[in-house]
Amino acid sequence: MKPVLKFLVSLTQIAVGTASNFAWNLCGLIIVGILYSLGFMPVMAIGFLIGIIIPSVWIVCLYKVILKHQEFISDSNLPGWIAREPGNTISMLCDIALLAAIWAGIATNLLPFPWLHWLMALVVPAMVLVVLRILKNMADIHNIKQPPQ
């Protein structure tokens, strides 16, 4: 296994591999997101971390889980092209670019909407973490039903 892929597998396991890891990460994310959105942590670096860096890492993990377990994608509602290259990488980069564009608008005050701070600091990271957990569980269940040959 490539070192980068091994790192992403480890990171996914740490983030959502067990119910307790998932619960701790989600609770921590919610607490920090609320504190940042309410202005208790006005440092732009913290917003950048929880609004761009962490969701981007989880998006990369999410798309790599999809790519690694592409055989169960045909049984789900996800489009098949997401489970193959280059569609997987293009989708991943588009998601990250969208996050970066929205965050750039917030940072430059082009998008001074308070609800957008809540969205980027709390809703989007939590949603990505939940979807990563769901896909990881689907992949684990599929591996139990269909052991590797």
In a domain, 130, yes or no: yes
Backbone angles phi, psi at 22, to 5 degrees: -60, -45
Please tell me the predicted confidence (pLDDT) of residue 93. 94
- Bond before 86 cis per omega within 30 degrees: yes
> How much is the pTM?
0.79
In a domain, 35, yes or no: yes
In a domain, 8, yes or no: yes
Please tell me the predicted confidence (pLDDT) of residue 96. 93
Contacts of 50 (CB under 8 A, 6+ apart): 29, 32, 33, 36, 121, 125
Residue range(s) defining the domain that contains residue 90 = 3-139
Count: domains in the chain: 1
In a domain, 121, yes or no: yes
In a domain, 145, yes or no: no
In a domain, 83, yes or no: yes
Give the span between the Cα atoms of 59 and 131, in whole angstroms. 10
In a domain, 46, yes or no: yes
* pLDDT (mean) for 97-111: 88
In a domain, 149, yes or no: no
